Chains A and B, each alone.
Chain A
Amino acid sequence: MSPAYDCVRRFSRRLIVGLLLTAWSASQVQAGIAAGVEAPMRLSQWLNNRPDALQPHAALPNAETPYLPGLIWMVPEEAKVQRLYKSHLLDRINSIEAAPAVSRTDAGNLAGFVAAFPTTGRVVVERTDPRWLEVNAQHDPVLKKGQRLVVPSRPTTVTLVRGDGHTCQVAHSANLYARDYVRKCDAAGSPQSAWVVQPDGLVRRAGVAGWNENEQDSPAPGAWIVVSDPAIPWPDAVMEQLARFLATQGVAADMPPSRIVALDREPENWLADKLGYAGQPTPPRNNALSYNDWGTIGLIQTPTARMASAGNAAISASRVYPYTRMTGSMQIMDWFELAVRWTAVSNRLYGPANFSGNQSYKDKSVDFKVKLLEESAMKPEFSVGVRDFGGTGLFGGEYLVASKRAGNLDWSLGLGWGNLGARGNLGNPLSVISSKFNVRPTASSAVANAGNLNSFSPFRGPTSLFGGVQYQTPWQPLLLKLEYDGNDYQHEPSANNQKQSSPFNFGMVYRPNPAIDLALNWERGTTLAMGMSFHGDLSKFFMPKVSDPESEPVSALYPQQEPDWNRVAALLEEKTSWRVLQIKRAGSELIVRFQNADANYWNAYVDRIVSVLHRHVPGKSILVFRIQSAEYGLDLHEFQIDRRAWVEARTAYVPAHRRQNAVSERAAFDGFDHPLSNALIERPTQAVTGNIGMYFDHSFGGPEGMLYKLGVGARGDWHIRPDTWWTGALQYGLVDNYDKMIFPASNSTLPRVRTQVERYVSTSPVTMPVFQFTHAGKLNDENFYSVYAGMLESMYGGVGGEWLYRPWQSPVAFGVDVNAVRQRGFGQDFSFLGYKTLTGHASMYWDTGFQDVNATIRAGRYLAGDWGATLDLSRVFQNGVKMGAFATKTNVSAAQFGEGSFDKGVYVNMPFDAILTRSSTNIASVIWHPLTRDGGAILNRAFPLFGMTGKQSGDLLKWGPWTDERKTQFGEVADDFPDAAPRKSVFSMAQGDLVSVGRSVATTQFWSSMAWMGGVTLVSSVLDKPADRLALNHGARPLMNAIETGGNMLPLAVLGASGLAFLGDEPGSKLSTTAYSSLAAGGIGMAGSIALKYLIGRDRPGVGNGPASFNFVNANNGSASMPSGHTTIMWAAVTPYAKAYDAPWLYGVAAVTNLARVSGRNHWLSDTVAGSLLGYAIGDFMYRSHRNDAKSGMEWGLSPNGVAAYWKLD
């Protein structure tokens, strides 16, 4: 027990609790002002009537001053919910299972601490200044009789609570943070985390150890700090729940002065004094992440295990003779970094002088890095990465790297292969598997090999250690770096050897602002290098819409008079810039229909529309507003607004128990023609619309650098009928650089369907990119079609049609398009060239529900007549920023395709709404598309149905400006309550399983397990040859034949039995649930094993190439050896039974399948070990996901603002 806690230990449980109890039960004395609400009134009014609550500091802040940030608004209805929450917290504290390592004494003390607090029913009021509330009524609560208000006195301390319920109180200082208070109380302790509960109820986690220190707010006077101490190992969830419970209590009142830890003056520090930081601790900082020469997060040349948060992106440039690198990197997930790079080698030519002149050699490449392990107090962050994966492999390398932070130092140590380990001073540890790993195929700069995954030979050849340290100096903008480089520059690719006198590089990064890094390095002991990075978190881009029209004033009073409806329509158009087609009254509903309403952030538009309607539409009769949009003749969507709930939320601060969802989205299936409606405004559709403006198209990634064209353009639409229209566009090119475009020589005999782009750009300054007639319609509410003809895009004209199946709010849609097209003349007029073809695709669109990832898969015939498929994966953030990658593989061989081998690219889309002060529907798109080729080329249609039916998603309100998560912290705590959800259908269960599997892949536990399983498999591989020899010598014996037959049949038998049990037993029973888990696990096991076969490509024993013969990532790997599909399915299917019925002997039965697969020489032993481990993992996962007592299901959370509930998959 530390002295500080010890000094308060005398207060332990009873006394401490007694004191705190006094603070609240005798609030009149301790809390400053406490009073019941006698009559309904606004909080601002109540405060203004109490001058004693408003007195500022008489001279300086002290304990006698009213403390409005700690105001407590007590609402009896909220207290009921908080009682449940408290009870649940106590259950967890008293449960041995919740924290078996916590002593029962400590648990009892903490339980007593919690039990002594009342449930207050506190509702957080974020701002309490009455003068401000008066004019910001949506933040001003309406008080009701029976409620109470407390304005506490201003405390002068901060109170720490430990896991055993002991507290320690420290004098407050504006310059101290949670870390500092923790040290004041227990200088010898080693707490890792704390939860700071601010007086206004905000709860935030703070890292208080050297490895996890982060930017954090200073605790205000009266704040609680719940300290997580390894000596009392409560799960974080319990500590957080305790913190949130304390947030309902208000400020921690001061103890008598003798029990308060006073602040000592900081010892003099000469350096800090010189730097101007004397006398105050350095504010806690996040670990500084910076980009290396390769444009990914790392040191100078080498990577680290670090990752930025999802949504970050960077454009980096570096110059280290003879290389100039331009890199774009994206952090698509918190655990996945993707980078694309373009490297110019200044002392090598791109090709023969008569082909590409003096163009320097250009290398395109793709890198990725995956985080396997999160950093913790004892463990480093651990990542695996691949460099130059998708290009020539000239700079190809792989690495494993670990990083560990200690305050301002961030250490990294890694093992590199290929370019990263070219020093080769270590052997390859993987050579224990096969001697093949000792040799790495030489990379070639031949462009024909670029992008060919078949030549990908990862983790081959000798290795080298690499690593170093980054130091965050006391001056925040400056970082210093030192590293040991594993590369050997005297043996560079293409014999481009460079002088190197030292393996150590050192340098500095200067950050003039948070978005720019300027690097200066001394590398190889011989070379001065420099770099620059522009970076930022695109997912947090946000711009207040100060240039948008303002909402109409909102009053709690409802108009009485019938308005001038033309005036209402004019106001609606002014506020939205959309054309009003109709306004109708239908019973108690008012329906407004706009023409082609479109927006990225809909919430603001809906608010402005409703503000107009509420201000002018009589209130007694109209209680619901419906906002619809007529687009292409398709009735898809409407917003439905509960007028009373909407008005209440905007004219008063509403406690959680009374909050309603005022705006909802509905399918407009019941249409606009309400039988009892009467039209108030009726206008025809505006037939002709158009716009003029500038255009700028670009592409980059090729040897020419960026290609662009800039010009002016005009576009028009003429709606013959709402569902039938003509679209045309004219462009006048002002400037372009497509004359620089290089079309490398290749063996391609494909028709030139895309590679003549330079001629399309340069033949005529005036072009007509599109001239098209389109008709669209609904077959029913879920099926849509369109037919179209004309000049469909800049290079193709013709006719086509599309059908799309897209149910309302469905995560999955499916469509087919077929087009008969002919190549257009280069002038983009009405002329055609000779080439014509039939092209079309079947497309599936899937909103995976996993970390906002969307997938689109297309399969069909491409423009050059090649057949194949395109996969597009993207992540969309709340503010609409989208990061994605696509790849197309067709039946065109890599040689035919030319450089790049197959079509691929990455892109970032950013809505202008994220960066402009005025709302816009435009989207800026940056695409990295290394090379334009003829294989895998797709028709760029103007009106794809999936885009036209975007409102079918029914989630338009989901997108909006980024919001600081701190503002939404209240009410997000989760805890386990019994599952109250109804039984789901088998299909929805299966869908949930897929999502669940996807989510689990995103966890570090998953990747840790994978690493562990890989290790066991690796070890087992030493028995591959002996086991195969045994099979060869004894496998033909009758007993072994019987085992082989039986073992091979077992998976099918188990799955069949599971099917019968699932169908036959009572839904929800233990057997039925287990059987479903078994079936699902078997299915996932089968899919997983097939996918791994394609990835690993190990030869079977019968092939005769030995156990070390691999052909990674090959389309012909379908019958490859690793892992064993039979054993994967078998182990996956039996594990749920073994778990549910505590029958480990079933694993012995499953092992018969292993024996069968090895004795029949179908697999190596390690194949079956891998299959067993994989199957067990899947079976265990499915079992835990579906067991009746699982933690999966509905979860509840509580805060001062109320209760939140959501569905959680364990």
Chain B
Amino acid sequence: MAIMKFGMLCRAGIFVLAVSSAGCTVEPATQALLDAYRLSGGGAETQAGGLNPRLSYLRVQVGERELFLALGYVDQLADGPVQVWYSGDGDVLRLRDGRVVGLITKYGPDWLGVSFARLPRWGALGDQAEFERVRDARPGYRYGIREKMLIRRIAPPDDTQLRLMPSSSLAWFEETVRGDSDIPAARYAVGADGHVVYAEQCLSNEFCFSWQSWPSSGKEAH
């Protein structure tokens, strides 16, 4: 349950380490960490008041615990831009087009190097589509896990952790691993502009979390 520990361990230490390693210039990662650190105590409503309007945030929920991740970078890679989000604990979450393409935490599980084949764009997605996902997972050195994925449109669910906006205002999709995988289905909520606003994702059968662009007033992760 690594993300549960975001914001609880060594937050400030990581920040200053980042400063020193960057030669005292405040890099985006550092600023993101600092911001995530400042926000790492208290609930969402309390924390919302401390948001830096110049940064983008993710409100992440693991079980009952809420925390905020700050956007550090958008890496321009061959497969497309990847958002790099930081927790106050120095954990790193990577999202591409609203999907988890990497998570590195202190206690795992980690997903590394996630890639897709035949992945449809959100805007071009009909009621159902299939694609392939390949990922490396730790612990256990399970590298090159190939999964056939099925994504289908679903009705707005009631059992979400979405905040401050009705689920009916979004288009919802459920993504499942075909075959005998033990990873529960993921769900995505896509705004009118074709960007993911909210998602639920499990990295194993024991570790699940949701994330939402924050503040939610129309600002979406992209």
A interface residue numbers (CB < 8 A to B): 42, 44-45, 54-61, 65, 69, 127, 129, 131-132, 134-138, 140, 172-174, 198, 217-221, 223, 276-280, 544, 546-547, 550-557, 611, 650-651
Separation of A220 and B13 alpha carbons in the complex (Å): 33
CB of B179, distance to nearest CB on chain A (Å):
8
Minimum distance in angstroms from B57 CB to a CB of chain A: 16
Residues 71-89 of B, flagged 1 when their CB comes within 8 A of A and 0 if not, give 0110101110000101000
Supply 14 A–B pairs (Cβ within 8 Å), ascending by A: A60-B132, A65-B113, A129-B92, A131-B29, A131-B92, A132-B92, A134-B27, A137-B20, A174-B142, A221-B143, A277-B180, A551-B13, A553-B13, A553-B16
Whose C-beta in chain A lies nearest to the C-beta of B2?
A: A544
* CB-defined contacts of B132 to chain A, threshold 8 Å: 60
List B residues 137-187 near A (Cβ within 8 Å): 139-146, 179-180
Cα distance, A427 to B14, chains bound together (Å): 72
Min CB–CB distance B125 → chain A (angstroms) = 19
Taking Cβ atoms with an 8 Å cutoff, the residues of B that contact A are 4-5, 8-22, 24, 27, 29-30, 33, 72-73, 75, 77-79, 84, 86, 90-92, 94, 101-102, 104, 107, 112-115, 117, 132, 134, 136, 139-146, 179-180
User: In the complex, how many angstroms separate the beta carbon of A352 from the nearest chain B beta carbon?
Assistant: 56
**CB–CB A136/B78 < 8 A:** no
Evaluate contact between B92 and A137: CB separation under 8 angstroms.
no
Residues of B within 8 A of A547 (CB): 8
Contact A135 B17 (CB under 8 A): yes
* Complex Cα spacing A841 to B143, Å: 62
- Could you tell me if B17 and A651 are in contact, using CB atoms closer than 8 angstroms? yes
Q: Which residues of A sit under 8 angstroms from B17, Cβ to Cβ?
A: 135-138, 553-555, 650-651
Is A220 in contact with B90, judged by CB distance below 8 angstroms? Answer: no
Give the 9 A-B residue pairs with the shortest CB-CB distance, closest first. A553-B16, A137-B17, A57-B115, A553-B12, A220-B141, A546-B8, A553-B13, A220-B143, A556-B20
Return B81 CB to nearest CB of chain A, in Å: 12
Q: With the chains together, A628 CA to B18 CA distance in Å?
A: 32
> In the bound complex, how far is the Cα of B134 from the Cα of A42, in angstroms?
30
> What chain A residues lie within 8 Å of B143 (beta carbons)?
61, 69, 172, 174, 218, 220-221
Least Cβ–Cβ distance between A559 and chain B, in angstroms: 12
A172 vs B134: C-alpha distance in the bound complex, in angstroms? 14
* A137-B18, A217-B140, A553-B12 given; A131·B73 CB < 8 A: yes
State the CA gap A550–B41 with chains docked (Å): 12
Asked if B144 and A174 sit within 8 Å, CB to CB, the answer is yes
Q: What 6 new A-B contacts, CB under 8 Å, besides A56-B113, A552-B12, A553-B12? A: A57-B113, A131-B84, A132-B91, A135-B17, A135-B29, A554-B13
Which residue of B10, B104, B117 contacts A550 across the interface (Cβ within 8 Å)? Answer: B10
Cross-chain contact A198 with B141 (CB below 8 angstroms): yes
Question: A60, A131, A135, A546: which contacts B134 (Cβ < 8 A)?
Answer: A60
Contact between B117 and A59, CB atoms less than 8 A apart: yes
B86 / chain A contacts, CB cutoff of 8 Å: 135
Query: Once the chains are docked, how many angstroms separate the CA of A837 from the CA of B111?
Result: 69
Q: State A59–B79 Cα separation when bound (angstroms).
A: 8
Give the CA-CA distance A278 to B10 in the complex, in Å: 45
A130 to chain B, nearest CB (A): 10
Q: In the bound complex, how far is the Cα of B214 from the Cα of A241, in angstroms?
A: 53
* A42 vs B21: C-alpha distance when bound (angstroms): 7
Assess the A136–B90 pair: CB atoms within 8 A. Answer: yes
CA distance A198 to B136 in the complex (A): 14
Q: Which residues of B contact A137 (CB under 8 A)?
A: 14, 17-18, 20-21
Q: How distant is the Cα of A556 from the Cα of B18 in the complex, in angstroms?
A: 10
| A585–B215 alpha-carbon span in the complex (Å) | 50
| Choice from B13, B92, B107, B144 contacting A552 with Cβ under 8 Å | B13
Contacts of A54 in B (CB 8 A): 75, 77
Complex contacts, B84 vs chain A, CB 8 Å: 131
Residues of B within 8 A of A546 (CB): 4-5, 8-9
For B140, what are the chain A residues with a Cβ–Cβ distance below 8 Å? 217-218
Residues of A within 8 A of B179 (CB): 279
Contact A550 B92 (CB under 8 A): no
Chain A residues in 8 Å Cβ range of B11? 550
A44–B21 contact, CB under 8 A?
Answer: yes
- Chain B residues whose CB sits within 8 angstroms of the CB of A135 once the complex forms: 14-15, 17-18, 29-30, 33, 86, 90, 92
Cβ contact of B107, chosen from A198, A544, A650, cutoff 8 A: A544
Give the nearest-CB partner of B11 in chain A: A550
Cβ–Cβ < 8 Å partners of B73 in chain A: 131
CA distance A594 to B77 in the complex (A): 53
Which residue in chain B gives the minimum CB-CB distance to A138? B17
Contact partners of B114 in chain A: CB under 8 A = 56
Rounded to whole Å, the gap between the CB of A243 and the closest CB of chain B is 15
CB distance from B17 to the nearest CB of A (A): 4
Interface pair B9/A544, CB less than 8 Å apart: yes
Q: Which residue of B lies closest to A277 (CB)?
A: B180
- Distance of A586 from chain B, by nearest CB (Å): 28
Known: A550-B10, A611-B13. A555 touches B180 (CB 8 A): no
Complex Cα spacing A136 to B141, Å: 22
